Amino acid sequence: MALLVQKFGGTSVGTIERIKAIANKIQEFKAQGHDLVVVVSAMSGETNRLAELAHQMQDAPTPRELDVILSTGEQVTVALLAMALNQCKCPARSYTGGQVSIRTDSQHNNARIESVDTRVIREELDAGRVVVIAGFQGVDQDGNITTLGRGGSDTTAVALAAALEADECQIYTDVGGVYTADPRVVESARRLDSITFDEMLEMASLGSKVLQIRAVEFAGKYDVALSVRHSFEKTMGTLITMEQQGEMERATVSSIAFNRYEAKLIVKGIPDIPGVASRVLKPISKANIEVDMIVQNVADDKTTDFTFTVHRNDFQKAMSVIGQSSDEIGVHEVEGDNQISKVSIVGVGMRSRAGVASRMFETLAQAGINIQIISTSEIKISVVIAEKYLELAVRTLHSAFELDKELVLDGA
């Protein structure tokens, strides 16, 4: 008997039939004697539909009102799943985030969970019921509805598992676990039995949306046993672990991640004097635009070029912010490109092995792919390339680092 938090994503609850199938699966776990807290997302496509409605009303929807709309998607699925469970004689009750006191800060559309009061949930569990909770939402200290950013139901599940000291947090989704690359892009991608928190954090922050980055952060911080599994197939799934598992030596590179929707701005001919980087980036951060990579070129002629990347959705806004503050920064010219993507190789094995970067660059060169920007950390190397080469780059790197092959025994 265990206390399990199980989260089912949008595709897994995308139709009435699927919700019924999920209810059967939950009922089987319940019959084994487990206590169950189930977190669900909105039906697939629903959050996009709701966001689109808000954008039809207002170009830049009021964040507070947008959250009121977005949070309704999950409210529908919790009720439907609780009904389905009750129908298969598995007592259950649905709750919104606010009803189970998931308290967040007031950063609408991207709020952070601050605390969870588990009293109501424990009472329900004690009464023998499955507790079905809406993911992706909470309330701030004034009772305003907030949402946690796209993919936020993962974070709801992990936060609940941490607060309840659950035995495991199981993230059920439309693929069999965490793979060596997005299995929808690389057919030969392999499921990993386990992956370290460090690697998973890098992957999530580099664009692999299989887990929301904050969910991984939370799980690492509060020592939550976390796994990713297939909603409908009885396969092993992937365990997220503190250390590399077992005798197996992990390949140098354990996965390829990518972020398709990037854009870059090149601010040209700015004076090469102290404070320039901050003068360029201050108006950008004031406009709430997140900057990803930053490169300042070597000065030539007492002026320099300053390049940075942002999410493609923020490209136009960033261009106009720089345009508006050009006098203040001393900008001569700004160039932009919103047809770029970022591809990264990730692996804790990289720490101890030389030659990984050169192998990556050589592989891309042989495929005729030009690298525009490079950035590295201890366990990842990222490059910016033209978007049209994205799939080619991901697949070529996947095979160059032999990720489609089985792992080898250490020393073998």
Q: Strands 168-173 and 3-8: what pairing? A: parallel
Q: Does residue 8 touch ligand ASP according to CB under 6 A? A: no
Among 153, 309, 341, 382, binds ligand ASP (CB under 6 A): 153
The CA distance from 163 to 99, in Å, is 15
* DSSP helix, strand, coil percent of the chain (3-state; round to 5): 35, 30, 35
Phi, psi of 26 (to 5 degrees): -65, -40
Residues near 141 by beta carbon (within 8 Å), at least 6 away in sequence: 103, 106
Q: Does residue 231 touch ligand ASP according to CB under 6 A? A: no
Least Å from the CB of residue 256 to ligand ADP: 8
Sort 200 into a burial class: Cβ within 10 Å, 0-12 / 13-18 / 19+.
buried
Q: Does residue 150 touch ligand ASP according to CB under 6 A? A: yes
Least Å from the CB of residue 92 to ligand ADP: 20
Among 61, 97, 135, 151, binds Mg ion (CB under 5 A): 151
Q: Does residue 47 touch ligand ASP according to CB under 6 A? A: yes
Q: Strand pairing partners for 384?
A: 342, 373
Which residues are near ligand ADP by CB under 6 A?
Answer: 9-12, 41, 151, 173-175, 178-179, 181-184, 208-210, 255
Count the alpha carbons within 13 Å of 238 in the hemisphere toward its beta carbon. 21
- Between residues 42 and 356, which has the closer beta carbon with respect to ligand ASP? 42
Least Å from the CB of residue 69 to ligand ASP: 12
- Between residues 82 and 157, which has the closer beta carbon with respect to ligand ADP? 157
Per rule CB under 5 A, count of chain residues that contact Mg ion: 2
Residue 390 in tokens: 């994205």
Q: Does residue 175 touch ligand ASP according to CB under 6 A? A: no
The CA distance from 226 to 161, in Å, is 9
CB-CB contact of 94 with 80 (8 Å):
no
Among 4, 5, 38, 42, binds ligand ASP (CB under 6 A): 42
Least Å from the CB of residue 368 to ligand ASP: 36
Q: Does residue 73 touch ligand ASP according to CB under 6 A? A: yes
Q: Does residue 138 touch ligand ASP according to CB under 6 A? A: no
Residues binding ligand ASP (CB under 6 A): 9-10, 41-42, 47, 73, 135-136, 150-154
